[in-house]
Amino acid sequence: MNVLLAQQADRIATPAIDYAAILPMLIILGAACVGVLFEAFLPKHQRWPGQVTLSLLALAAAGVALVAYAGDSPARGVTTLSGTISVDRPALFLWGTLLALALGALLLIADRSVEPGGAFVAQAGIAPGTVQDRAQVGSTGMQTEVFPLALFALGGMMAFCAANDLLTMFVALEVLSLPLYLMCGLARRRRLLSQEAAVKYFLLGAFASAFFLYGLALLYGYAGSVRLADIANAAAGTDRSDTLLFAGLGLLMVGLLFKGSVGPFHTWTPDVYQGAPTPVTAFMAACTKVAAFGGMLRVLTVAFESTSWEWRGVLWGVAIVSMLIGAVLGLTQTDVKRMIAYSSIAHAGFLLVGTMALTEAGLSGTLFYLLAYGFTTLAAFGVISLVRDSSGEATHLSAWAGLAKRSPLLAAVFTFLLLALAGIPLTSGFVGKFVVFSAALSDGMAPLVVIALVFSAVAAFFYLRVVVLMYFSEPAPDGPTVSVPGAFTTAAITLGVVVTLLLGVLPSFALNWAGAGGFALS
């Protein structure tokens, strides 16, 4: 019996785990688990400082571990956890971007000075203004369940953009999505709108996940494996029918394009951006797009590069539709948050242009664009949270008329961020579009670049419309007030503005880091 057990043990190979490579992700997921324990065991008055301290320390520790590993990491990257996670240079760049953006988002989430009692409730069903709601505000100051939820979502994003097989990518997709569904429904103000946003996001997200999973099944039937490298080998040299291959790719891309807010798979974006608590909207707009396009870059480059001539035409159409929807429908919006939502759909089309290039320049340009767009959007939503009236945030455009006369500094900051989203020189938005469009031109996509430039000009109109409204209109006598931001909100907005300026003036460091190496192909 002992001999049989010894033989069986010899057959079971223990997977090698490179703990140094995945330490940043383990720190974030471990901190999320500790945050759940904080909610269970800490007294109510200690939860907010405990959760804020834990979250910031986790981000700092993960950042230190990332920098320490990146300095000695092999240029070709490593695969670990039985080949399910690939820690290569693009993954390290995406992880660094996610950690930096999550820092700003968590600062917005933690702020209690702009909204008394915080922007969140513990349960979406608690009606605002009731005895229960007032008791919560008085006893706890702020509901803190959102912190471990945000860390779980961040950990899922980090796993998603480093996943080396489709099954791991699907699990990571659910880990990042489920906390976001909950966070969207926890707004203290405009509760019904927040609940509606959460339900829409959940239903459409579940539908998109089903597409992703069905595509995964078809690709497994085609290649006999869910690993990206095995799918690439099967696509490059097999006599099997390509029906399963391209049907699986099409369904897989639906799930990825949904997460990236790419039109026409964008229908959740305006409603969710508008209804979710603004700090959560900032977190989604910045971090989710980084994770989605990071995963998309890895899938298309590693698994489907050899068949690009067959699927690129379809993605051309998707990119044009996304830019069209974002630019044209953005002109009709009267709500600032919905306008930024349609702006994100247009930017997703621009990002898709760089994603299709499948060259070193296309990869580095898209990674840089994700970094630049994330910080600009994060700061923009931080500014939006400060313009308020008696019902909460004043997001209707009419409320922003003459804002420069009420708060010249806030109007100047928002103007700078809008100009960055429009791609004006000396901002990160200009450099991002320049490197992405240059990569597409070099890869023979000149007609698509011309179309993208046209839609960039169209989209610039609704950014400039807000600038004109703030500076050249008279403020209403009963117009909104501009809240004095707390230290956390000030730090988040300052971080976004400084990075937006630095990436526009001195982009070489970030561009060099983004172009330090390609995906590991094993």
Tens-digit pLDDT string for the chain (522 aa): 565 555 555 566 677 788 888 999 999 999 999 999 998 888 888 888 999 999 999 999 999 999 999 887 776 778 888 888 999 899 999 999 999 999 999 999 988 887 766 667 655 455 555 544 544 544 444 678 889 999 999 999 999 999 999 999 999 999 999 999 998 888 877 777 888 888 999 999 999 999 999 999 999 989 888 999 899 888 887 677 788 888 999 999 999 999 998 988 888 899 999 888 889 999 999 999 999 999 999 999 998 888 888 889 899 999 999 999 999 998 888 889 999 999 999 999 999 999 998 889 999 999 999 999 999 999 999 999 888 877 777 778 888 888 888 888 999 999 999 999 998 998 999 999 999 999 999 988 999 999 999 999 999 998 999 999 998 888 877 777 788 888 899 999 999 999 999 999 999 989 988 887 888 776
CA gap 276, 202 in Å, rounded: 13
Whether the pTM exceeds 0.85: the reply is: yes
Give the number of other CB atoms < 10 A from CB of residue 243: 10
> To 10 degrees, what angle do helices 89-110 and 360-384 make?
0
Give the pair of three-digit tokens for residue 3: 């001999």
Cis peptide before 49 (omega within 30 of 0): no
CA gap 321, 318 in Å, rounded: 5
The radius of gyration of the chain from alpha carbons, rounded to an integer in Å, stands at: 23
Cis peptide before 264 (omega within 30 of 0): yes
With tokens 């949270």, the residue in question is 385
